[in-house]
């Protein structure tokens, strides 16, 4: 792989604008090369320009290489020539460029400026442009790197304060008898008379030894001399029969925030303003300590990933500057790379060691305090292994896909040979069995579209795993998703093939119970596979899905994150699936499956719940918007909630009209559905996708696009409008044709809504990704367990 492609592939997607513009600088060097070629072979180039086809470029390169040793710079000059190559390389480099460091007036940071000494040479203006662009790119990279280093240093200071509080809390929880006595060993209480659960081999109490080990973190940042002194003090403390605990006074100046975001904590937050009379919220119990440690582990892991990406950013840009300077030397034969790369090495980009030192400190601290000194265990948490592509996934995917095609052909042949379309039981089958299997068809279609989303997100370098917050190494790629979808398709088609029996017992008028129970058994199997706790079938992803679904169900009692409301939006496109789940309960709960009859529509309870079931997903999203409106104080969330509320009204009125008819309900359904369609379409395209910006440099789109073909965006907007008008089939009375049963018509329009949601997914995450890129947001903010009182004082000041 060429370096240019490797350079792009290794970029942090959210930082891509902060990297050196390698391709742009290569384009400038290409201009330099073209000028030199034109100077060496003007007649050859003019002849090649008239040569048709793609052979002109090959001939140009071959002729340039063949005669370069006999003309121009390839001629050997005499030692007395003014441009004699006999001068030393160092002298030649010094005469090419001079690199100066200029300190800016407004800040203490320096900018680097290269003076090109050969600008008077013929074609020197091209090289002058190259060095100006090179300086701009280098200053951009150095400025960004310096800014990020300052951020991580500041974050490291905060983590240090958090660790001090955590260690003090550990000692307070494990040794509640210890009082705050400062740092003097002589003031520590004696431990020889305390009844402790275990004794260390040295004869000292085990808890005391653990406490001493915890204290060591406070001395990790000391110089060797201070460490020797501290080690001697600890030894003296041991000889005296006591130990020096960490300063527990820190617990008097912090507040703890370790309550998980649960419905109970949310309700308590509204019902009380104090914390049981404890101003700091500290109860010094093991549960509190465990929660604080879990948050600190997450904070350290996220901080360590940030350091690694920053280190990679530094190395990758240094390599890019080295590569581009070598290309310059190769084209111009000037040998200026040594001087420039020396400046790169001496700059903040090449000379700063803060990130490397922080990486070492984080590894040592995490191994010591969160992995019990086991470096392998600690590094396994800090550096999760990337998920490897497995050939068996591709093999199984191919098998399931082939089986799905074979089963589909088999179903069509059975329907054709048995003449099921002309059978009197056709209507009965479509009213009962078809809706049962349509539920799985909707899930398979949604799965295939999501797999397509993942494929294109990865192709266009949209960091979907970061946006969703997947644990590194556990995210599913498109092959994994297609494997699950194809597996479900095989089970569904096999069930359909076994359930095509159109005849009942002529005496009892009942169908075979085993055959009729196939859809229910299939549903139970899917539910069991989804909820089973064993580490098979992508347990991490399954639990992630279940957790998001649980948060949606209990909205607004949970803090709303992007995966939660993204799943809520997916559920709004599966309204028909919710209705078919209700039909499962009615069909099998009432025993209608024995005679394959559908009498659910005549039930008042079923009709009532059909209204409720239809609005549940939209109600979830409405409550999520209200929660975000209260927390974020963002008016846009209120407007978004109003959009979902209007959709609920339109959906209820359409359901009433589809069941009872009437001109008045038809008018109301048309008006409410038309209004919410306009509202929702505007929100999709303008707010969620960020398009239709007439002031954008990409007319009617947005400034940044990941797809170069702009027509794709206009086609997507048109499809969104057309597919959102699917509700018109209700008010236009398009319910059944000679070839399509009404349940088939409903299923087709439900599939169109799922397809629209699949298109929406890609552009929604593209817009979210570009927002992260615009703010260089490549990391999640991790809540820390402790809050210092002085922070509140600083805010008040």
Question: Residue 275 in contact with residue 281, Cβ under 8 Å?
Answer: yes
Of residues 424 and 371, which shows the higher confidence score? 371
Q: How would residue 448 be classed by pLDDT, with cut points 50, 70 and 90?
A: very high
- Which neighbouring-strand residues pair with 110? 103
Q: How many helices (H) and strands (E) does the chain have?
A: 30, 4
Q: Which whole number is the average pLDDT over 268-289?
A: 60
Q: Cα–Cα distance between 178 and 674 in angstroms, integer?
A: 70
Q: Cα–Cα distance between 546 and 412 in angstroms, integer?
A: 36
441 Cβ neighbours under 8 A, 6+ residues apart:
492, 747, 751
3-state SS, residue 795: helix
Q: Looking at the predicted structure, is the pLDDT value of residue 523 above 90? A: yes
- Which neighbouring-strand residues pair with 788? 254
Q: How would residue 85 be classed by pLDDT, with cut points 50, 70 and 90?
A: very low
Q: Which whole number is the average pLDDT over 435-454?
A: 96
What does residue 492 show for φ and ψ, rounded to 5 degrees?
Answer: -65, -45
Q: Looking at the predicted structure, is the pLDDT value of residue 33 above 90? A: no
Q: Cα–Cα distance between 683 and 632 in angstroms, integer?
A: 19
Of residues 98 and 227, which shows the higher confidence score? 98
- Which neighbouring-strand residues pair with 100? 113
3-state SS, residue 693: strand
Q: Which whole number is the average pLDDT over 429-434?
A: 89
Question: Residue 96 in contact with residue 107, Cβ under 8 Å?
Answer: no
pLDDT for the residue numbered 763: 96
pLDDT for the residue numbered 220: 45
| CA dist 6 → 3, 65, 304 (Å) | 5, 28, 24
Does an H or E element contain 101, and which? strand 97-103
pLDDT for the residue numbered 512: 78
- Work out the mean pLDDT of the chain and round it to a whole number: 79
Question: Residue 189 in contact with residue 176, Cβ under 8 Å?
Answer: no
Q: Looking at the predicted structure, is the pLDDT value of residue 369 above 80? A: yes
Q: What is the 3-state secondary structure (H, E, C) of 204-270?
A: CEHHHHHHHHHHHHHHCCCCHHHHHHHHHHHHHHHHCCCCCCCCHHHHHHEEECCCCCCHHHHHHHH
The model's pTM: 0.79
Q: Cα–Cα distance between 752 and 756 in angstroms, integer?
A: 6
What does residue 97 show for φ and ψ, rounded to 5 degrees?
Answer: -135, 155
pLDDT for the residue numbered 569: 96
CB atoms within 10 A of CB 108: 6
Tens digits of residue pLDDT in 105-136: 555 667 888 887 776 677 678 888 888 899 99
Question: Residue 549 in contact with residue 567, Cβ under 8 Å?
Answer: yes
CB atoms within 10 A of CB 507: 6
Residues in the chain, how many? 797
Q: Cα–Cα distance between 111 and 24 in angstroms, integer?
A: 21
Which value, to the nearest 10 degrees, does the dihedral of the CA atoms of residues 246, 247, 251, 252 take?
170
Residue with tokens 């104080």: 633
């Amino acid at each position: 792989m060429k370096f240019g492609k490797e350079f792009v592939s290794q970029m942090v997607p959210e930082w891509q604008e902060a990297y050196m513009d390698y391709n742009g600088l290569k384009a400038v060097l290409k201009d330099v090369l073209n000028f030199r070629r034109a100077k060496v072979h003007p007649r050859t180039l003019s002849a090649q320009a008239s040569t048709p086809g793609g052979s002109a470029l090959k001939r140009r390169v071959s002729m340039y290489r063949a005669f370069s040793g006999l003309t121009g710079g390839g001629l050997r000059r005499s030692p007395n020539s003014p441009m004699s190559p006999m001068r030393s390389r160092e002298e030649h480099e010094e005469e090419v460029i001079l690199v100066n460091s200029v300190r800016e007036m407004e800040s203490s940071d320096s900018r680097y400026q290269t003076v090109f000494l050969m600008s008077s040479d013929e074609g020197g203006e091209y090289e002058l442009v190259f060095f100006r662009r090179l300086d701009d790119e280098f200053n951009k990279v150095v400025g960004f790197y310096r800014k990020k280093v300052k951020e991580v240093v500041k974050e490291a200071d905060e983590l240090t304060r958090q660790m001090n509080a955590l260690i003090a809390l550990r000692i307070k929880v494990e040794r509640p008898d210890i009082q705050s006595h400062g740092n003097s060993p002589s003031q520590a209480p004696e431990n020889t008379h305390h009844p402790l659960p275990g004794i260390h081999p040295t004869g000292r109490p085990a808890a005391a030894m653990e406490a001493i080990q915890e204290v060591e973190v406070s001395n990790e940042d000391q110089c060797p001399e201070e460490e020797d002194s501290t080690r001697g003090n600890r030894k003296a403390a041991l000889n005296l029969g006591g130990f020096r605990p960490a300063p527990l006074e820190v617990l008097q100046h912090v507040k703890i925030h370790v309550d998980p975001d649960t419905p109970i904590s949310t309700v308590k937050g509204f019902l009380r303003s104090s914390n049981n009379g404890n101003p700091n919220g500290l109860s010094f119990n093991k549960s509190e300590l465990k929660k604080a440690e879990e948050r600190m582990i997450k904070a350290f892991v996220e901080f360590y990933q940030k350091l690694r990406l920053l280190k990679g950013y530094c190395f990758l840009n240094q390599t890019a500057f080295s590569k581009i300077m070598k290309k310059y030397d190769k084209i111009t034969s000037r040998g200026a790379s040594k001087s420039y790369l020396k400046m790169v090495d001496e700059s903040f980009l090449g000379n700063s060691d803060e990130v490397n030192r922080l990486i070492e400190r984080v590894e040592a601290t995490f191994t010591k305090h969160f992995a019990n000194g086991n470096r392998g265990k600690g590094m396994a948490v800090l550096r999760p292994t990337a998920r490897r592509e497995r050939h068996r996934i591709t093999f199984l995917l191919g098998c399931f896909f082939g089986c799905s095609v074979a089963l589909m052909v088999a179903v069509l042949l059975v329907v054709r040979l048995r003449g099921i379309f002309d059978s009197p039981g056709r209507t009965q089958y479509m009213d009962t069995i078809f809706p049962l299997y349509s539920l799985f068809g909707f899930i398979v279609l949604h799965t295939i579209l999501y797999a397509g989303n993942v494929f294109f997100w990865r192709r266009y370098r949209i960091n979907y795993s970061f946006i969703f917050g997947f644990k590194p190494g556990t995210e599913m790629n498109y092959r994994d998703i297609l494997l699950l979808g194809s597996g479900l398709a095989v089970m569904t088609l096999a069930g359909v093939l076994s359930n095509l029996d159109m005849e009942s017992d002529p005496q009892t008028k009942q169908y075979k119970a085993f055959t009729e129970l196939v859809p229910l058994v299939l549903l139970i199997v899917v539910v069991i596979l989804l909820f089973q706790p064993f580490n098979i079938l992508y347990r991490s992803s399954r639990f992630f899905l279940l957790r998001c679904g649980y948060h949606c169900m209990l909205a607004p009692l949970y803090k709303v994150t992007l995966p939660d409301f993204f799943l809520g939006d997916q559920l709004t496109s599966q309204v028909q699936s919710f209705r078919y789940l209700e039909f499962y309960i009615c069909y099998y709960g009432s025993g209608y499956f024995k005679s394959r009859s559908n009498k659910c529509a005549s039930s008042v309870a079923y009709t009532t719940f059909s209204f409720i079931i239809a609005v549940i997903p939209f109600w979830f999203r409405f409550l999520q918007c209200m929660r975000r409106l209260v927390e974020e104080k963002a008016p846009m969330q209120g407007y978004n909630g109003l959009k979902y509320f209007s959709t609920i009204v339109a959906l209820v009125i359409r359901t009433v009209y589809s069941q009872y008819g009437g001109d008045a309900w038809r008018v109301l359904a048309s008006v409410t559905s038309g209004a919410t369609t306009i509202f929702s379409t505007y929100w999709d395209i303008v707010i969620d996708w960020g398009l239709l910006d007439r002031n954008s440099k990409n007319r009617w789109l947005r400034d940044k696009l990941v797809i170069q073909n702009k027509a794709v965006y206009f086609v997507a907007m048109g499809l969104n409008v057309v597919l959102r008008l699917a509700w018109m089939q209700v008010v236009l009375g398009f319910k059944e044709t000679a070839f399509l049963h009404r349940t088939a018509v409903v299923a087709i329009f439900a599939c169109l809504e799922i397809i629209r949601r699949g298109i929406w997914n890609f552009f929604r995450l593209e817009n979210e990704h570009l927002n992260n890129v615009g703010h260089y947001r490549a990391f999640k903010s991790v809540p820390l367990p402790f809050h210092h009182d002085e922070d509140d004082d600083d805010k008040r000041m």
